[in-house]
Every structure is written in structure tokens, then in C-alpha cells.
Amino acid sequence: MGWAKKMGEISSKWIYILLAILLVIPLLVPIPLPLTPSHYTMEVYETIESLKPGDNVLFVIDTGTSGWPALGPGVIALVEHLFRKDGVKVFFVEFESTSPPLVDRAVAAAPSASKKKYGEDWIHLGFVAGEETGKASFAADIRKVISVDYKYGKPIDEYPIMKNVKNMNDFKLIVEPTNAITWMEQAIRQWYTPYHVPIISIPPFLDVPWAENYYRAGQLKAYLAGTSGLAEYEKLLGMYGDATRGLAVMTTTHTYAIILFVIGNISYFLSRRKKEVK
């Protein structure tokens, strides 16, 4: 068992070098993961797949810049899926003040965005102040809270996509990635309850238990849960995005940690037994 003794005496320098390599490889090289989409992930996917040409989707990015690292990959995947749907119109709006620049980031990262025309296939309406009161006002009459678009500052009525879109009744689906469960609750109160427009969400991982309650009550149509849920969605779309990369990094590094734990314990017990024999 000399190998065990040698493994136990490996310099920490080499342990950290190998750890760094295992951190970098999944970021550069696609690593296939045995992911099986959960029924939660499939429900989100099938809901978007069911959209038909002419359907309007309200996409509310309320992750904020603080929530983007965790939720951003899911936002990009959902934007990409919607842009793959022919004839589906996407309307971006935000009620969290740091979120507007994230729309351009999400659209730029979605490969299918290049096939879509601004003002006809999608539009960025921008930020609406007031949080829950802003959501209520937006739902009742969009033009009372928004007169120009965020991207170019032009009157929204100059864009063909805004024709016949007046209030929440004109939307088929709401997609709301959010950095706090309170934002989701506002959407349920102001949009789902009075207008019965189904809502898809990406809640923070710690808020998933609350999201599950609304899902079981029928007030939340579907949601993506955690990094694994986002990675499952990327797999359904054939994307190797940041969620899959993150999950691959966790897989390689956690496996490495377990191996080190096992080797360290074997080395310790063998060396102790050897001392007892002496």
C-alpha cells in the first residue's frame, strides 16, 4: 500500500493545480452530462412550444444585476426558445430598476435573435416605476405608463408590433424571471388573478419552495428550478450555455473533492495501522 502513503503526501500545490484545470476545462470544452429534464422543466418547454403565430408574450426581466449570474442563463435560454417560434411576438418590460440593460445582453446572447426584426417581432418597452402599482397600471393600459420604447426612444405606436396591443388581455403568456419571490407574488396578484394570463418564472433557488406552493395552487403555470433546471432547458434546446458549464464545473470539482476525501482517509487509516503494528 505504498501508493496510499505517497498519495497522502502529495503537495497541496499539485492538488490546487489540478483543481484549477478541472475548473477551466468545462468552461472551454463541452462536457456531455446525463441530464434528464424534470417534469417542471418539461412543462416550461411544452408551454412555449404550444405558442402559435400571432401570440404575444410579455417577458418581464426582474432579475436585477445581482440576480443575473444565477438566473441569466435561464433568461437567455427562454429568449432563444421564444425567438425560434415563428410569428410569436415578444414584449420586454422591467419593473426592477437595474434590469433594463439586461434585455440587450439576453437578446445578444440568443442565436436566433439575428433572424428577428425589432419593432415587428420584438420590442423593449423599458422600465416602469412603482413596482406593484406599476404592474397594475401597465396591465390596465400600457400607454398610460409607457409612451416611447427603451431602445430608440421612439413612440411605441410607430412600431407594427404594438398594433392591437393595449393591455394585459392582449398577452397569451407572461415570462418573469425574478430575483425575489415578492416580484412573482406581485405578478400573480396583478396579472394572473384579474386577467388569468399564465405565468412562467425562474425564481431564485432559495425561493423554489414558495414557487412550488403557487404552482400547486394553479397560480403559476410552470417554473425552472436551480442550475440543474436551467441546464436541462439548455439541453432541450441543444445549447451548451452557462448553466450547463456551471453544472459541469460543479460535477468535475465535486467528484474531485470526493476522490481526495477517499484517498486522504485511506492514507490516514493505513498510516495509523502501520504505526500500531510497530
Amino acid identity at 185: E
Q: What angle do CA 10, 15, 19 make, to 5 degrees?
A: 165
| Residue 233 clears pLDDT 80, i.e. is over it | yes
Q: For position 3, what pLDDT does the model report?
A: 60
Q: For position 192, what pLDDT does the model report?
A: 97
The alpha carbon of 210 is separated from its chain's Cα centroid by a whole number of angstroms, namely: 17
Residue owning grid cell 502513503: 5
Rounded distance between C-alpha atoms, residue 95 and residue 128, angstroms: 5
Write down the CATH number for the domain with range 39-239: 3.40.50.720
| Residue 140 clears pLDDT 80, i.e. is over it | yes
Percent of the chain scoring above 90 in pLDDT: 67
- pLDDT confidence bin for 246, thresholds 50/70/90: confident
Q: What angle do CA 142, 148, 154 make, to 5 degrees?
A: 145
Q: For position 220, what pLDDT does the model report?
A: 96
Residue owning grid cell 445582453: 105
Q: Is residue 124 helix, strand or coil?
A: strand
- pLDDT confidence bin for 218, thresholds 50/70/90: very high
| Residue 245 clears pLDDT 90, i.e. is over it | no
pTM confidence score: 0.85
Higher-confidence residue of 273 and 264: namely 264
CB 234 within 8 A of CB 248: no
pLDDT tens, 19-29?
888 888 877 87
Q: Give backbone dihedrals phi and psi of 15, rounded to 5 degrees, phi first.
A: -65, -45
CB 53 within 8 A of CB 73: no
CB 139 within 8 A of CB 168: yes
Higher-confidence residue of 193 and 20: namely 193
Q: For position 264, what pLDDT does the model report?
A: 77
Mean pLDDT, the chain, whole residue set: 90
Rounded distance between C-alpha atoms, residue 218 and residue 229, angstroms: 20
Q: How far is CA 227 from CA 28, 48, 74, 140, 247, in A?
A: 18, 20, 9, 35, 7
Q: For position 176, what pLDDT does the model report?
A: 96
Higher-confidence residue of 61 and 9: namely 61
CB 236 within 8 A of CB 45: yes
| Residue 4 clears pLDDT 60, i.e. is over it | no
- SS3 for 224-246 is CCHHHHHHHHHHHHCCCCHHHHH
